[in-house]
Structure 1
Amino acid sequence: MKRLSFLLSLYRDYFANYMKTKLTYRGDFLIEVLSDLMFNGMNLVFIFIVFQHTPSLGDWSEAEVVFVYGYFMIASGLFSTFFNVWNFSERYIVKGEMDRILTRPAHSLSQVMLENMDPPAIVGSIVGLVIMITSWATLGLPFHIYDPFVLIIMVLGSCFIYMGIYTALSAISFFSDAPTGIGPLIYNIQNYGRYPVEIYNKAIRFLLTWLLPFAFVGVYPASFFLGRLDDWWMAWLTPVVGVIVMSLGLWFWNYGVRRYRGAGS
C-alpha cells in the first residue's frame, strides 16, 4: 500500500510538471491535441466510407461497428496517455538512459512510463466515450445501473493487454539494441481488434484472440454492451486476459532488466 501511494504521488508530480512545461507553449499543446483528433477522425471516416459500399460487415451494422470503435478509442487513449514507450529502444538503450533509470528507487518500468506520459492523448478517450454514448442512443440499447462499472473493468482489462504486449515488445531491446521493426507490425495488427472478428478467417481470429489478443481491446468487450455475443463469457475474459498478459509482459521486462549490462563506454 505504501509503495502504491509512493507511485501515485510520482504520477501526480510528473503530471503537474508536464502540464507546466506544455502550457508554456500552448500553441504546441493545442496542435498536439488537434493532431490526435484528426488521426482518430480519419479512422472514423474510413468506417463511414466502408459502409458507403456495403450495408453491413458480416451481420454488423454501421452503428455497431462505430460503437466498437468508440470503445477501442477509450482503451487506446488511456494506454497512449500513460504508457507511451514507442521510442524506448532509441532513448533508453541506444542513448544509455536506462543506466540513469536503474539508479533510482522506483521500479524501472514505472519510471519509463512516467517520463513518457502523453496527457493530450486522453482526448481520444473522451471522444471515444462520446462516440459510444451517441451510438448507444442510436442503437436504442438498454442502460443498466451496472454498465458504467462493467465499462471500467473492461477498459482496465483492455489497457492491461496493451501494456503487457508493449512491455514485452520494449523488453526485447534489452537483448538487442538494433531496430527490430516489430513495433509497427504489432501496431497495425492491433487495429484489427476494432472490427468484428467474424469477418476474418479462422487463423486471424485465433491470432487476435489467443496469441496477440487485440480482440479483447475492442470487439469482445464492446459486444457485451451490444448484446451480440452468444458466448457471453468471452467478454468477461477481458480482465482475466489483461491480468495474464500484463503479468507475462512484466515478467519479461524484469528478466530483461536482470540481463541488462549497461550502455558501456
Structure 2
Amino acid sequence: MFYIGIFFQYVSQYMKTRLEYRSDFIVEILSDLFNQTVNLVFILVVFGHTQFLNGWNRDEIIFIYGFFLIPYALFSAFFNIWDFNDRYIVKGEMDRILTRPIHSLFQVVIERMELESLFGLVTGFIIIFYAGANLGLELAWYDPILFVLFAIGGALAYASVFIVIASVGFWSDSKTSIMPMMYNIGNYGRYPVDIYNKVIRFMLTWVLPFAFVGVYPASYFLGKEEWYIFSFLTPVVGLVFFTVSVMIWNQGIKKYRGAGN
C-alpha cells in the first residue's frame, strides 16, 4: 500500500506538470499515433504485393501488430529507461536515488514514466477490432481475462530486457549503445516468428522474449492451436524474465560506485 500510494502521488504530480504545457503534451501524443500509423501503412504496403506471408494473411498480421501495441504501450508508459545509463550513471543521478528509503528501480520507473504513451492502447484496440471483424473472430467469456494476462505478461517480458541492459551500466560506468539497437530488435516481435530462421526464432523466444509481446499471445485469439502452448506461457515467461531482471538490477546496485572519482 505504501508503494501504491507513492505511485499515485507521482501520477498526480506528473499530470499537473504535463498539463501545464498542453501543446507539448498533445504534440507528443500525435507523434506517437503518427509513428504507429506509419508502421501500419508499411504492413499494408507489403500485403499490396502478396496475399500471404509464410501462411499468414494480411488481417492476421494486422491483428498481431495491434496486439503488440497494447503491451508496448504499457512498457513505454512505465519503463521509459532508454537513457538510464547516461542520466543516472554517467551524470550521477543514481546517487540521489539511493538516498531514499524505497527500491531504486521503482523510483527510476515512476520518475521516467510517460503516461501519454498509454494512448497507444487506443490505437491497438482499434486495430485489433478492425482486424478481428475482418477475420470474423469470436470471443469466449474468459477471453478478456486472458487478454489482460497476456498483455501484462508481454509488457513484463519487454521491460525485463531493458532492465537488464540498464543494469549493465552499474558494471561499465560508461555510455553504451546497446539500448537503441535493442529497441530496433524489439520490433521483430510484431511479426510472426516463423518467417525468421531458427536461430532468430530461438533468440526472440528464449533469450530476448520479444515474441511473447506480439505474435505468441495474439496466436491464441487467431486460433493458431499449434502455438497455444506459447500463448499460455506468456504470463509465466513475463513474470520469470522480469523477476530475473530485478535480481540482476539488485546485484548491479551493489557494484555502483557513485559519480565521484
Task: Please list, as runs of the form range in 1=range in 2, the aligned pairs for 1:1-265 lying within 5 A after superposition.
Answer: 5-264=1-260
Unpaired runs of 5+ residues, structure 2, are none
- Deviation, structure 1 residue 162: 1.3
Distance 1:28 1:172 in 2: 33
Q: Quick check: 2:156–2:242 contact (8 Å CA) kept in 1? A: yes
- Deviation, structure 1 residue 151: 0.4
User: What is the total number of aligned residue pairs between the two structures?
Assistant: 261
| Counterpart AA for 1:77 | A
Distance 2:92 2:230 in 1: 42
Distance 1:118 1:27 in 2: 15
- Deviation, structure 1 residue 47: 0.4
Distance 1:188 1:156 in 2: 21
Q: Quick check: 2:157–2:213 contact (8 Å CA) kept in 1? A: yes
TM-score by length of 2: 0.98
- Deviation, structure 1 residue 179: 2.3
Unpaired runs of 5+ residues, structure 1, are none
Deviations 1:151-191 (A, max 9, x none): 01101111111121111110001111322211122111111
Q: Quick check: 2:90–2:175 contact (8 Å CA) kept in 1? A: no
Deviations 1:98-139 (A, max 9, x none): 011001011000000010010110011221012112211111
| Counterpart AA for 1:128 | G
Q: Quick check: 2:89–2:174 contact (8 Å CA) kept in 1? A: no
Residue aligned with 1:104, SS: coil
Identity %: 50
Distance 1:89 1:109 in 2: 13
- Deviation, structure 1 residue 261: 1.6
Distance 2:180 2:165 in 1: 11
- Deviation, structure 1 residue 241: 0.8
| Counterpart AA for 2:111 | E
Moved more, 169-178 or 228-237: 228-237
User: What do you get for the CA RMSD once the two structures are aligned?
Assistant: 1.0
Q: Quick check: 2:150–2:235 contact (8 Å CA) kept in 1? A: yes
| Counterpart AA for 1:165 | V
| Counterpart AA for 1:42 | V
Residue aligned with 1:106, SS: coil
Distance 2:194 2:79 in 1: 30
TM-score by length of 1: 0.96
